[in-house]
Amino acid sequence: MPADSGPVHVTALTLRPATRADLPAVLALLADEARVVDPATLVVDQVYEQAFAAIDVDPRNEILVLVEGVDDQGDGGRVVGCLQVTYIPGLGKGGAERALIEAVRVRADRRGGGLGQILMERTIERARTRGCALVQLTSNKRREDAHRFYGRLGFARSHDGFKLAL
């Protein structure tokens, strides 16, 4: 679209906290490993309703969605990426929060086009604006492609991540 084509129907990417209406799209992204899951095919179990509500009311947790196609006609757009951020208060770093990112997802049919970078960069900027001293995340050791991606974003691969299932 030419830059001078006027304001209508300008496709945009918006990063914003998820609302309850986004929950099927978010769960579809979480379920979508290799191919797109249609949110319309999902039944939202009550346990996920409750988990979403718990995140939604917590001032130190949020699910952010990257929405494509929001335009000035009021089109609601389509969720093409998501992640969860937990803002952790602490006694180090002058009492500043750190931002922990979990569950980064980009729609299977939209990977490789830079959406992940936009999702991460805007999330990092949001954490910076909030006053966080650090952004941290872990990534499975098998995900070498993801590790290069986080390296390009400026992250240092300085730690090992340990998990214990209960």
Judged by the rule CB under 8 A, the positions of this chain that interact with a second copy are 26-27, 30, 47-48, 50-52, 54-55, 58, 60-61, 63, 84, 86, 88-92, 94-95, 100, 102-103, 124, 127-128, 132-141, 147, 150, 153-166
Nearer to a second copy, 3 or 91 (CB): 91
Q: Which is nearer to a second copy, 4 or 160 (CB)?
A: 160
Minimum CB–partner distance for residue 120 and a second copy (Å): 10
How many alpha carbons fall within 13 Å on the CB side of residue 9? 3
**Smallest distance from a second copy to CB 109, Å:** 21
- Which one, 84 or 119, has the nearer CB to a second copy? 84
Report in angstroms how near the CB of residue 95 gets to a second copy at its nearest: 3
Nearer to a second copy, 35 or 159 (CB): 159
Helix (H, G, I), strand (E, B) or coil at 53: helix
Q: How far is the CB of 8 from a second copy (least distance, A)?
A: 35
| Token pair listed for 27 | 């769960």
> Strand 13-17 and strand 78-88: pairing?
unpaired
> Do the Cβ atoms of 29 and 42 come closer than 8 Å?
no
Beta bridge partners of 112: none
Residue 30 near residue 103, CB atoms below 8 Å: yes
Query: Under a CB-based contact definition with an 8 Å cutoff, are residues 31 and 41 in contact?
Result: no
